[in-house]
Amino acid sequence: MIYLTAEQALFIHYRLLEETGGSHGVRDISLLQSAIARPMSSLGRKDLYPDIFTKTASLMHSIIKNHPFVDGNKRASITAASIFLARNDYTLTAANKELERFTSAVAAENRELKEIASWFKKHSRL
């Protein structure tokens, strides 16, 4: 499994805001580090997020809910999730409008991690 680093997430955020606009800046670096580390979490020797889709869901959910950036948290969350999947040989198949709708729903509603993981599984392919 290839995980994202906090430095990569910072770069993703920077490039997104350069291309789409918004306020640059990190609100809390420790919240970003926590979001990036969450997919790697384990209890004892057992992964808390045992497959690529639960790991992707935990990454997206944490970036959205931790709100580590001043602006662009939703954009950064779905982009980081997409890149995480790509680095592990998966491609998101959802159209941009569907990505926007889903990301906004995760941010606005109290979606269960299982539901987010299921969405990624349905909208990804090897």
Only one residue has tokens 């159209």, namely: 95
Sequence ranges of the domains in the chain: 6-16+28-125
Instruction: Output the six-digit token pair for 111.
Output: 């979606």
Provide the whole-model pTM: 0.95
CATH topology of domain 6-16+28-125: Four Helix Bundle (Hemerythrin (Met), subunit A) (1.20.120)
Task: Name the band, by pLDDT with cuts 50, 70 and 90, for residue 91.
Answer: very high
Which pLDDT score, from 0 to 100, does residue 6 have?
97
CA atoms within 13 A on the CB side of 124: 24
On average, the pLDDT of the chain sits at 97
Which pLDDT score, from 0 to 100, does residue 110 have?
84
pLDDT, one tens digit per residue, over 41-84 is: 999 999 999 999 999 999 999 999 999 999 999 999 999 999 99
- Please say whether the beta carbons of 63 and 80 come within 8 A: yes
Task: Name the band, by pLDDT with cuts 50, 70 and 90, for residue 3.
Answer: very high
| Residue 110: Cβ within 10 Å count | 6
In degrees, rounded to 5, the angle at the alpha carbon of residue 117 between the alpha carbons of residues 1 and 2 is: 10
Amino acid, res. 73: N
